[in-house]
């Protein structure tokens, strides 16, 4: 497996691959890889000749210093895991901040037509400017044909599609289904930081989402939301930050159901100091 930490090196290699007419997939990650990431990489390998996996904990998308500091960094085991998937067709690009940011580690400011103002945007100030900035930089360096993102961060996925559309970047964004533990907990790098009691409690999030989906078949948005809020109000360990039923395209909170629209339920929960998010398609 090839490993690069400098933009200049990987740019030269990519230019050579492009001259040969090979297709390139990109899987951007912040490392601490788990099976969910590996699913993205495997899909990218099926659909492209070569795959670039970026591993970079992006400082500009964190609005909380402590969260950034505590984010798991496990480069060695990440590389070992990727080796088990493919020795020949994966290139890893794990830059230092100054390399990818050209010594100017700040976010660009974006207008994502209001998608950035909903849900995560309300609770994580500047988060999507940081995501947009780093993802655009990776697109510029790698110039992939296809880029792969998980639906666990569904709002991020919609925002990246918007970024590509607005800036007219010639690439295909592929959204991939949420990959879950056997108990339903959405896979996330943050799960490794859960203390045992919270790890045991966390599948309650997905169980609640699946029941909310069933209730949504017959009940109003308001009733389902109230039901979910009550479930968490009495929970000993998990603290609900938000539960929102939103239109899948606009991400605006739904008021009344219309069978012309597709809806998704979005949730953010604190398990101790670890913030977990998840979502589910409702119709
Ligand atoms: O989803 C993530 O891991 C990050 O937000 C991403 C897309 C790699 C950008 O840093």
Tens-digit pLDDT profile for residues 225-239: 999 999 999 999 999
Give the 3-state DSSP-derived string for 72-107, with helices as H, strands as E and coil as C: CCCHHHHHHHHHHHCCCCEEEECCCHHHHHCCCCCC
| Residue that is written with structure tokens 């925002």 in the block | 159
Catalytic residues: 37
Q: Are 33 and 80 in contact (CB under 8 A)?
A: no
With a cut of 50, list the residues of the chain below it in pLDDT.
none
Q: Are 160 and 154 in contact (CB under 8 A)?
A: no
Q: Are 55 and 92 in contact (CB under 8 A)?
A: yes
**Could you identify the atom of ligand 1 that is nearest to the CA of residue 28?**
8
CA 41–ligand 1 middle distance (angstroms): 14
The pLDDT of residue 70 is: 92
Length of the chain: 283
φ, ψ dihedrals at 108, nearest 5° = -80, 160
DSSP secondary structure code for residue 71 in this structure: S
The pLDDT of residue 78 is: 98
Neighbours of 151 (CB within 10 A): 18
Distance CA 153, CA 242 (A): 15
Using CB distances shorter than 6 Å, the residues near ligand 1 are: 28-30, 58, 61, 131, 134-135, 153, 156
Return the best residue to mutate from 61, 95, 128, 139 for the ligand 1 pocket (most ligand atoms within 8 A of CB). 61
Distance CA 137, CA 226 (A): 41
**Could you identify the atom of ligand 1 that is nearest to the CA of residue 54?**
8
Distance CA 164, CA 55 (A): 21
CA 49–ligand 1 middle distance (angstroms): 23
Distance CA 273, CA 228 (A): 21
Distance CA 37, CA 42 (A): 9
Tens-digit pLDDT profile for residues 141-171: 999 999 999 999 999 999 999 999 999 999 9
CA 283–ligand 1 middle distance (angstroms): 27
The pLDDT of residue 125 is: 92
Sheet holding 172-176: strands in order across? 2-4, 90-93, 50-55, 24-29, 146-150, 172-176
The pLDDT of residue 127 is: 97
Strand 146-150 to strand 24-29: parallel, antiparallel, or no bridges (unpaired)? parallel
Which residue, judged by its Cα, is nearest atom 7 of ligand 1?
28
Return the best residue to mutate from 68, 153, 161, 279 for the ligand 1 pocket (most ligand atoms within 8 A of CB). 153
Angle made by CA atoms 282, 146, 11, in degrees to the nearest 5: 145
Where on the phi/psi map is residue 65: left (φ > 0), alpha (ψ -120 to 50), or beta? alpha
């Amino acid at each position: 497996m090839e490993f690069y930490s400098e933009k200049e090196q990987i740019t030269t290699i990519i230019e050579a691959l492009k001259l040969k007419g090979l297709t390139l997939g990109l899987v951007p990650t912040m490392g601490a890889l788990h099976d969910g990431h590996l699913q993205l990489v495997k899909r990218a390998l099926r659909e492209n000749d070569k795959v670039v996996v970026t591993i970079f904990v992006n400082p500009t998308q964190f609005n909380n210093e402590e969260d950034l500091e505590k984010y798991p960094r496990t480069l060695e085991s990440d590389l070992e895991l990727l080796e088990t998937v493919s020795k020949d067709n994966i290139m890893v690009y794990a830059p230092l901040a100054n390399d990818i940011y050209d010594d100017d580690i700040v976010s660009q400011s974006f207008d994502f037509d209001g998608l950035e103002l909903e849900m995560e945007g309300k609770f994580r100030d500047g988060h999507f400017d940081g995501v947009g900035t780093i993802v655009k930089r990776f697109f510029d360096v790698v110039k992939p044909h296809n880029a792969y993102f998980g639906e666990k961060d569904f709002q991020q996925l919609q925002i990246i599609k918007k970024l590509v559309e607005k800036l007219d970047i010639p690439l295909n964004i592929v959204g991939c289904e949420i990959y879950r533990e056997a108990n339903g907990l959405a896979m996330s790098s943050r799960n490794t930081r859960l203390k045992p009691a919270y790890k045991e409690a966390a599948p309650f999030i997905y169980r609640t989402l699946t029941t909310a989906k069933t209730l949504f078949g017959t009940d109003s948005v308001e009733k389902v939301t109230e039901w979910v809020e009550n479930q968490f109000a009495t929970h000993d360990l998990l603290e609900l930050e938000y539960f929102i039923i939103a239109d899948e395209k606009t991400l605006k909170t739904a008021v009344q159901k219309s069978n012309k629209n597709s809806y998704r339920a979005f949730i953010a929960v604190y398990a101790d100091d670890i913030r977990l998010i998840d979502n589910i398609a409702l119709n």
